[in-house]
Structures are given as structure tokens and as C-alpha cells.
Structure 1
Amino acid sequence: MKRLLVKAPAASAAPKGIILCLVPPEDVAHQLALSGGLPEEELHVTLAYLGKTDSVALDQVKEAARPLREYLKGLSALKGEFSGVGRFTIPKKDAFFLTLDVPGLNVVRETCCNVLKMCGLPPDNTHGFTPHMTLKYVEASEPVPVQRLTPVPVEFTHMELWYGSTHLRVPIGR
């Protein structure tokens, strides 16, 4: 099976997390990125957090891509829209985000989480699942950068497993 590894651009601090995520197409990321926010190439919707790179080998993550690929090839591209704005309070700053509405995403995510669990990569269940894409971190006293969003359609044709700055693309559909 063909695998496509993509290296993310070097950031100021190398990422250490492992996630399963949806990455918006370049044109959508370009349209939604905010000045002073996260770079377009870092925009993503986290489906599952799988720990840190110092506790899981890259080979284990690569192996988990096989059963994920088998499951995802039976699906069609995931279509939906970014349609709302929100804010999470986190310890240092608040996360300003866009909500994502994709019919059936919860079921797809749950199945992917079960596949990852069977591969020895149990997702962290500390928080519930709220499909969103963080655009910018803001100070607690700062207003949100956008008050309202005109819905932006999006189609996801693959998921990605991010192992630090190494990105493994897993296609959706044949």
C-alpha cells in the first residue's frame, strides 16, 4: 500500500503530539486563516489525540494507518461546512475556533477511534468531541476576531495522522 508522508514546515518549537485529524483543502485554509493566527498549513480539526511522540514509536502510528485506510476506503469524501465561531478557555490563552458540521462525522470518528484502540493507540478521552478548527489564540480580555461566519463549504478527501512534524496522509474513499 502506498503511503504519503508529508513534512510540516518547521515551527518555532517542534510539535510533540500525535493526532488523527482532518486538514482543510489549501483554498479553504487560505480563506479562513486569520492575520496573526495559526499558519494555514497548521489548520486542522482534531479527531483524536493519541499522546506524545516520546511514548509512541512512529512505526506503530504507520502500522495503524493500514486498518484506518481499509475502513476509510469504504466511505465517500466527508462534506460539510464551517459555520460558526466559538471560544475555549484554556490555561494560558483562549482558543478562538470555527465549528465544523459534517453529517455522520461522529460515527466516522468513533469507528476510527476504535480502530486506533485496537492498534494499541487509545485516544485520550479527557474531553468530549466538539468538531472545531482553532484559528487563533487570544488573551482572555481580547474580543473574538470574528463575530459571525458565513458558512464555508468543505470537502475532506483524506485524514492525516500527525506524529510531531511528520504527517501521514490516509485517503478517504478509493
Structure 2
Amino acid sequence: MRLFVALLPPPSVADELADAVGPLRRLPDASALRWTARESWHFTLAFLGEVADPVRPELAERLGRAAARHEPCALRLSGGGRFGDRALWAGADGDLTGLAALAGSVRDAARRAGAPPDAEHAFRPHLTLARAQRGHAVSLRPFADALTALHGAAWSADTLHLVSSALPRSGVPGEQPRYTTQESWPLGRPAAHRPEG
């Protein structure tokens, strides 16, 4: 199963982002981009690729322990950017130190479980909005520039998700991967184990 570990924005944040993305979809060359579906929006902490079924129980156990060691992160959508002219993304602001520490723990947990993260996907907090379609040369600079003013409301990233990614098989242009949450863990120790005061 093809897996990654992620934080998912709450519906109110997805609403905000949808409002910001709407005008981008009307810019010149927007039709040359493959826009990610709202239900697919996420911040990837670790991309694991294909993970064998026998590895999954230990992976889940270790990810649960990693989640328990980290408190929720206060985040907000902020600005945007691009990976060359391949992908357009929205950025994050807030507790980026806590977010990076969580990503490090997740990556270590996956490595120890026998599902090492893809080395080509180093952690960089971003939420992918669109990708250039194959065979279409398009500059993503105007799209990234239009995201400069994006400064969303603060939200608490409080749940870690293990997500499967089923790649499109139909060959229909524009079809996107299908993401399904396999397991989730709250960040932070259970309330019964938190120190008083």
C-alpha cells in the first residue's frame, strides 16, 4: 500500500483556502494545471511510498507513540510558492519549529518500523494546490505571486493521519490520486496522563 503521514486542515481552513484558490483558477494558463481536489489538501510530514502489509502494525504503533510525544501545533496558511514550474503550493506559518520536530519524529518512527521515508521528499511545510499537466509548459510564477497575500486564521493541528494513496488507473486526463485515511492519532499525551496545573 502506498502511504504518507500528514496533517489535514480543518473545514474552516479549507473554506479559506478555497476562497483564495478560486481567483487563481481564472488566471491565464490555469487550464494547463491539474488542480488538487479540496478533499485531498494536506501537509505531508513523511512520504513512505509502498509499505508492505507486515510492516503496518509496527508502523502504526510507532506513529502513535510519536504523536503522543508532541503537542498540537498552532498553524495558519501563509503565502505560497512553487517547485519550479512543476507544482504550486500554499505555505504555513505559526509553530514551524514544533511542526518540524513532529515531522522528524514521524520520519524516525517510520524508519525504525521498516518504512523509511522517500529521501527525495524532504520535509518542507506546504500544501499542494496544483501541478503542471504533462506536455504543458506554463509559468507558475503569476500563481505563486497571487498567493503572497494569503494569511489565514490560526488553527490547531492536533491529529496525525496515516493516509493511503491510490494512483489513477483509468487514463482519464486530470484524474487524481484517491487518498484514504487509514489510521489517526491525537497529538499530545492523553488527558489522564498530563501533569496537573
State if a TM-score over 0.5 links the two structures.
Answer: yes
SS of structure 1 residue aligned to 2:47: strand
Change (3 A) 1:74 1:83: same
Mapping for residues 29-68 of structure 1, pairs under 5 Å? 29-33=14-18, 34-35=21-22, 37-52=35-50, 56-58=51-53, 60-68=55-63
Question: Shift of residue 115 of structure 1?
Answer: 0.9
| Structure 1 letter corresponding to 2:77 | F
SS of structure 1 residue aligned to 2:154: strand
Following the alignment from structure 1 to structure 2, what is the Cα–Cα distance between the partners of residues 42 and 59? Answer: 27
Give TM-score scaled by structure 2 length.
Answer: 0.68
Question: Shift of residue 127 of structure 1?
Answer: 4.2
CA contact (8 A) 1:84 1:151 kept: no
Structure 1 unaligned residues grouped into runs of 5+: 1-15
2:73 to 72, 78, 86: 78
| Structure 1 letter corresponding to 2:100 | N
CA contact (8 A) 1:96 1:137 kept: yes
Larger fraction in helix: 2
Query: Could you say which residue in structure 2 is the equivalent of 1:18?
Result: 3
Which segment drifts farther, 38-47 or 163-172?
A: 163-172
Q: Moved runs in structure 1, 4+ residues, more than 6 A?
A: none
Structure 2 unaligned residues grouped into runs of 5+: 26-34, 166-178, 191-197
RMSD value, Cα: 2.2
SS of structure 1 residue aligned to 2:36: coil
Question: Shift of residue 114 of structure 1?
Answer: 0.8
Matched, 1:28 2:26: no
Following the alignment from structure 2 to structure 1, what is the Cα–Cα distance between the partners of residues 84 and 3? Answer: 22
Identity %: 29
Which segment drifts farther, 113-122 or 61-70?
A: 61-70
Question: Shift of residue 59 of structure 1?
Answer: 5.2
Following the alignment from structure 1 to structure 2, what is the Cα–Cα distance between the partners of residues 27 and 151? Answer: 10
Following the alignment from structure 1 to structure 2, what is the Cα–Cα distance between the partners of residues 105 and 135? Answer: 20
Change (3 A) 1:133 1:95: same
CA contact (8 A) 2:75 2:154 kept: yes
Question: Shift of residue 19 of structure 1?
Answer: 0.7
Query: Could you say which residue in structure 1 is the equivalent of 2:113?
Result: 119
Question: Shift of residue 140 of structure 1?
Answer: 2.0
Query: Could you say which residue in structure 2 is the equivalent of 1:148?
Result: 149
CA contact (8 A) 2:70 2:102 kept: no
Which segment drifts farther, 56-65 or 27-36?
A: 56-65
Once the two structures are superposed, residues 12-68 of structure 1 have per-residue CA deviations (whole angstroms, 9 ceiling, x without a partner) of xxxx7311111111111121033453222100011111113xxx2345334312122
Matched, 1:109 2:103: yes
1:166 to 170, 176, 180: 180
CA contact (8 A) 1:58 1:163 kept: no
Mapping for residues 123-134 of structure 1, pairs under 5 Å? 123-134=117-128
